[in-house]
Amino acid sequence: MNKQLRKAVIAGNWKMNKTPAEAKELMEGIKPLVADAGCGVVVCVPYVDLETVLEAAKGTKIGVGAENCHWAPSGAFTGEISAPMLKSMGVQYVIIGHSERRTYFGETDATVNKRIRAALDAGLQVILCVGESLEQREQGVTGEHVAMQVKIALNGVSKDELKKMIIAYEPIWAIGTGRTATAQQAGEVCGTIRSVIAGLYGKDSADAFTIQYGGSMNPKNAAELLAQPDVDGGLIGGASLKPADFAQIVQAAGK
């Protein structure tokens, strides 16, 4: 991290977990543990939990996000949720392009770009996820693949709009598998992402841009990952469902 140049952010991604009652209990466990956080703290939760979590987050510095949004503001898209709907509730953030959306639900680089456009137009802050498969890493094309994902996702995004975005590097082979990229591997790819940002928007924008690592960060490896100069936080899956674990990662990012 380089906290003199940019903000560190730890975001929890609850995925498809927690009923509203369980979400309230989890938030009550998290709030006192991160009250003095020295970094940004966000929780991204299932749609059905948003109202409960927004209420629980009142009076705190915890940002609240959704886990996806549709690219249309309204229409015949049964089962989908639009960015304006989220904004109207008071939601601040939205995750776009998570590997599970890409893998299981047909998300493409093109639809990721459309969703980003919709989210920014609605006034939401975006956490964009990019990352390679194990096969792509073994083929030695990680840098090229991630650079392409970033460039397509940011097509049409202005320099000012970039300030409302975060990119999370999440190697697909390390999502929910217990495997983690080494600190060096994570740092290298986050550095690649920063280089792409610099090429598109200039060095000043790249230096100020927050890049997270999102592949099984936990209390044991957080400090080492966050010590990498281009890793500015984490997108946290399983550990975000355990208040003590989540708080330890937040503390590591606050140092």
Cα–Cα nearest to 127, from 234, 243, 6: 234
Residue 234 CA: distances (Å) to CA of 148, 166, 167: 22, 10, 10
Would you say how long the chain is, in residues? 255
Instruction: Report if residue 2 sits inside a domain.
Output: no
User: What single DSSP character describes residue 133?
Assistant: -
Question: What six digits make up the tokens of 243?
Answer: 């208040």
When pLDDT is cut at 50, 70 and 90, the band that residue 91 belongs to is very high
For the segment 221-234, what is each residue's pLDDT rounded down to a tens digit? 999 999 999 999 99
In this prediction, residue 178 carries a pLDDT of 75
Residue 180 CA: distances (Å) to CA of 43, 104, 134, 175: 21, 21, 12, 8
CA distance 209 to 75: 34
For the segment 165-202, what is each residue's pLDDT rounded down to a tens digit? 999 999 998 877 777 789 999 999 999 999 999 999 99
When pLDDT is cut at 50, 70 and 90, the band that residue 215 belongs to is confident
Structural domain of 133: 9-254
The answer to whether residues 207 and 5 touch, using CB atoms and an 8 Å cutoff, is yes
CA distance 14 to 236: 8
In this prediction, residue 25 carries a pLDDT of 98
- Report the CATH number at residue 203: 3.20.20.70
**Helical H runs in the chain?**
20-30, 50-57, 83-89, 99-104, 109-121, 134-138, 142-153, 159-162, 183-201, 203-207, 222-226, 243-254
Classify residue 113 as exposed, middle or buried by CB count within 10 Å of its CB (0-12, 13-18, 19+): buried
Element (H, E) at 96: strand 93-96
Q: Is 80 exceeded by the pLDDT of residue 135? A: yes
How many domains, the chain? Answer: 1
Instruction: Report if residue 3 sits inside a domain.
Output: no
**Known active-site residue 70:** no
> Which of 98, 100, 107, 132 is labelled catalytic?
98
Instruction: Report if residue 236 sits inside a domain.
Output: yes
Q: Is 80 exceeded by the pLDDT of residue 53? A: yes
CA distance 53 to 18: 11
Residue 170 CA: distances (Å) to CA of 49, 109, 138, 185: 24, 15, 16, 11
Instruction: Report if residue 1 sits inside a domain.
Output: no
Question: What six digits make up the tokens of 68?
Answer: 């996806």
> Which of 67, 100, 132, 170 is labelled catalytic?
170
Question: What six digits make up the tokens of 72?
Answer: 């249309």
Residue type, 128: L
Percent of the chain exceeding pLDDT 70 equals 100
Residue 22 CA: distances (Å) to CA of 56, 84, 143, 241: 12, 26, 40, 10
